[in-house]
């Protein structure tokens, strides 16, 4: 399967609800690399690289997030494939 990288911007109540830690755990379960970080405007940025099917699975999960989150929108941008050693919280 083709390796892809996608950048997601997740908005809603996504900071202070363990969104980054939960995203990292889910990404690692899926065998993805990249990172997740909070942005100053209240959104969360996720950069996920891996097999397209697993990246798509993470995208679907981002619409739900952890139990205390409320996701209003997930914007997606395709990027050139990058290599990351792991999936980090930044």
Question: Mean pLDDT, to the nearest integer, of 73-77?
Answer: 98
- The whole-number average pLDDT for the span 32-43 is 98
- What is the set of domains in the chain, with CATH numbers? 3-82 (3.30.70.100)
pLDDT at 82 over 80: yes
Selected residue with higher pLDDT from 1 and 5: 5
Confidence of residue 1 (pLDDT cuts 50, 70, 90): low
Query: Which residue is catalytic, options 6, 20, 24, 26?
Result: 20
Q: Catalytic residue at 38?
A: yes
Give the three-state DSSP class for 1: coil
Residues with Cβ within 8 Å of residue 25, at least 6 apart in sequence: none
Average pLDDT of span 17-28: 98
- For residues 51 and 3, the answer to whether their CB atoms sit within 8 Å is yes
Residue 41: which residues within 8 A CB-CB, separation 6 or more? none
Residue range 45-66: average pLDDT? 97
Given the residues 7, 13, 37, 38, select the one marked as catalytic.
38
pLDDT of residue 37: 98
């Amino acid at each position: 399967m083709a390796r892809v990288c996608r950048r997601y911007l997740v908005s809603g109540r996504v900071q202070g609800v363990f969104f980054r830690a939960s995203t990292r755990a889910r990404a690692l379960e899926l065998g993805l690399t990249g990172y997740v970080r909070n942005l100053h405007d209240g959104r969360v940025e996720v950069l996920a690289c891996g097999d397209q099917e697993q990246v798509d699975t993470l995208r679907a999960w981002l619409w739900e997030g952890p139990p205390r989150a409320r996701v209003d929108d997930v914007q997606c941008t395709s990027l050139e494939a990058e290599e990351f050693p792991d999936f980090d919280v930044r």
